[in-house]
Amino acid sequence: MTIFTLVLYVAIAALILTVLVGVVFKSHKSWLMTFLQNFCGSLFIFSGYVKAIDPLGTAFKMEQYFSEFNFTFKETAFKFLAPIFPWMSEHSLAISVAMIVFEIVLGVMLLLGSRAKLTAWLFLLLVVFFTILTGFTYLTGYVPDGVNFFEFGKWGPYVETNMKVTDCGCFGDFLKLKPKVSFMKDVFLLIPSLFFVFKHKDMHQLFSRRVRTILVWAIALLFLVFCVRNYSWNEPIVDFRPFKTGTDIRAAKAHEEEVASNVKITHYRMTNKATGQVVTIPYEQYIKEFKNYPKEEWAFEQIKTEPESEPTKISDFDISDNEGNNMTEEILNYEGYSFMVTAYKLKKLEDKTTRSAVVNDTIFAVDTVMLEGSDSMALVKKVESIQPHNLAMEVYTFDEQYQNLFSRIINPVMDAAQQAGFKVFAVTNPEDPAAVDDFRHATQSDYPFYVADDLLLKTIQRSNPGVVLWKDGKIVQKWHFKKLPSFEEIKTNYLK
């Protein structure tokens, strides 16, 4: 689905609702106002609903925004605002749920015509907020590395890789929009939002004021519970991500790599940093003349052929052990069943302790000896002394409740799987190897821990921790830790 087909479907739904309001309820005052109420209300309800299916996805996106805002503001005259963003990042989930429920409720209020003046102003404020987010996402494409967003005089030509947040998350993982498209969508929504503010008296109103109020509060409570269910009690009820159950990750990754290899550079577009002159030449010509365009004077942009399909996070599926050995092929090519425990964040406590360990320091001496039966000499290394000394080692401590998720829920099932001969391993984000080792010992996890990008792990599974069942490169099933069945149940239902 594209944004254009989505808008078309919403417009059709809005048209049907407009006819109902005008013909059946006879509540309209202005056909245009009623249509815009129904269009914007339906769009906000749908946008909020697909995010409510996966509120953690929105929270992760907001963390990215807050991180970039913190970095951007702390280097400007507005640096007094910077400390609020780390706090907001820590509470991104609560903020995201509140924003999602608010968006849905606002859509319902538009459909009902509830509190017309208040609804009009709230809609305008929310659209302005969304426009700031999507505008920041898009406009950072003009900001080169090492340049602050507010240093407008140092902006350069638009380069997609300059963007720090590459997707606004307006429709969650249901529909990915290019930053420019997303920004223009919100700019367009400013038109009806201003119309609502100045013409709110023309809004239609359905039912009595009391019924409207009851409906608004009931829907707010319903979707609050729905959001909590989709992050606290289980995996999202619908999986819009590429790592959904039943996906052949090995085949999909191979296909995406093949598609990427078929993309060719056709031209180079170069912009003179001093004059702004833009020159576009074929790739073959650039190879011959690149010395005429020194990097100190020109900014470069590659123009490539369009890929057959857009890459997904499957392209980034890359897992290694703590020593850097790549384990991806071994995992994807394993023909039998295997259990992967995902933990995108090991919840450590801030305070670290130290323990003393005795380490033997061996001192060697090198001497020369005459080889028997010849005139040759040889160097011989021998132990001269062994001196024990104490070495202070950092010991990581972890949240006890989080440890218990492994020791009491995950590990009993994984131990049974290993005893039955099945492969078990865990994947976490790249931590200090000592921290991972301390966690493994603290939870008595008798299986290896590998590392992968935390964004990849968050995409594979929202639960932290969670379990993924693999077979021959395919995802057979995924479980939230609260819904993990016993090994006997897994064996009966899945290990066939």
CATH number, residue 480:
3.40.30.10
Please report the pLDDT score of residue 348 as a whole number.
77
Residue 309 is assigned to a structural domain of this protein: no
> Are the C-beta atoms of residues 473 and 249 closer than 8 Å to each other?
yes
Run of H or E including 492: helix 487-493
Residue 242 is assigned to a structural domain of this protein: no
Whether 11 and 154 map to the same domain: the answer is yes
pLDDT digits (tens, 9 = 90+) for 265-313: 999 988 888 887 888 999 999 898 888 889 888 888 888 888 888 889 9
Q: 464, 467, 469, 429: which is closest to 450 by C-alpha? A: 429
Whether 37 and 83 map to the same domain: the answer is yes
Please report the pLDDT score of residue 353 as a whole number.
62
Strand spans (E) along 305-352: 337-343
Q: 89, 74, 119, 323: which is closest to 216 by C-alpha? A: 119
Whether 82 and 141 map to the same domain: the answer is yes
Cα–Cα dist 213/226, whole Å = 20
More confident residue, 367 or 57: 57
Q: Tell me the three state secondary structure of residue 366.
A: strand
Residue 145 is assigned to a structural domain of this protein: yes
**Which of 187-201, 344-358, 417-431 has the weakest average pLDDT?**
344-358
Q: 32-36, 140-144, 344-348, 399-403 — which one is most confidently predicted on average?
A: 32-36
The radius of gyration of the chain from alpha carbons, rounded to an integer in Å, stands at 29
Whether 115 and 72 map to the same domain: the answer is yes
Cα–Cα dist 455/64, whole Å = 11
Cα–Cα dist 14/20, whole Å = 10
Residue 403 is assigned to a structural domain of this protein: yes
How do 265-272 and 278-282 pair as beta strands? antiparallel
Cis peptide before 144 (omega within 30 of 0): no
Q: Where are the alpha helices (DSSP H) in 20-83?
A: 31-52, 55-73
Residue 358, pLDDT above cutoff 60: no
Residue 19 is assigned to a structural domain of this protein: yes
pLDDT digits (tens, 9 = 90+) for 195-228: 999 999 999 999 999 999 999 999 999 999 999 9
pTM: 0.83
> Are the C-beta atoms of residues 343 and 426 closer than 8 Å to each other?
yes
Cα–Cα dist 413/405, whole Å = 12
pLDDT band at 390 (very low <50, low <70, confident <90, very high): low
Q: 183, 175, 172: which is closest to 141 by C-alpha? A: 183
Cα–Cα dist 207/326, whole Å = 63
Whether 157 and 217 map to the same domain: the answer is yes
Residue 243 is assigned to a structural domain of this protein: no
Whether 383 and 486 map to the same domain: the answer is no
Q: Tell me the three state secondary structure of residue 213.
A: helix
Domains identified in the chain, total number: 4
Please report the pLDDT score of residue 168 as a whole number.
78
Residue 409 is assigned to a structural domain of this protein: yes
Please report the pLDDT score of residue 397 as a whole number.
87
pLDDT band at 356 (very low <50, low <70, confident <90, very high): low
Whether 81 and 181 map to the same domain: the answer is yes
Whether 407 and 386 map to the same domain: the answer is no
468: number of Cβ within 10 Å: 21
Encoding tokens for residue 5? 């087909």
Cα–Cα dist 190/40, whole Å = 11
Q: Tell me the three state secondary structure of residue 466.
A: strand
- Domain that residue 210 falls in: 3-233
Report which residue type is found at 146: G
Whether 291 and 273 map to the same domain: the answer is yes
Residue 392, pLDDT above cutoff 70: no
Read off the pLDDT of each residue in 123-134 and give the average, rounded to a whole number: 94
Task: Give, in degrees to the nearest 5, the angle at Cα 349 between 345 and 352.
Answer: 120
Whether 188 and 285 map to the same domain: the answer is no
The number of C-alpha atoms within 13 Å of 291 and in the hemisphere containing its C-beta is: 1
Please report the pLDDT score of residue 22 as a whole number.
92
Whether 115 and 218 map to the same domain: the answer is yes
More confident residue, 362 or 258: 258
pLDDT band at 364 (very low <50, low <70, confident <90, very high): low
Dihedral angle computed from the Cα positions of residues 235, 239, 240 and 242, in that order, rounded to the nearest 10 degrees: 100
pLDDT digits (tens, 9 = 90+) for 67-87: 988 988 888 888 888 899 999
Whether 469 and 345 map to the same domain: the answer is yes
Cα–Cα dist 437/296, whole Å = 46
Residue 419 is assigned to a structural domain of this protein: yes
Please report the pLDDT score of residue 204 as a whole number.
95
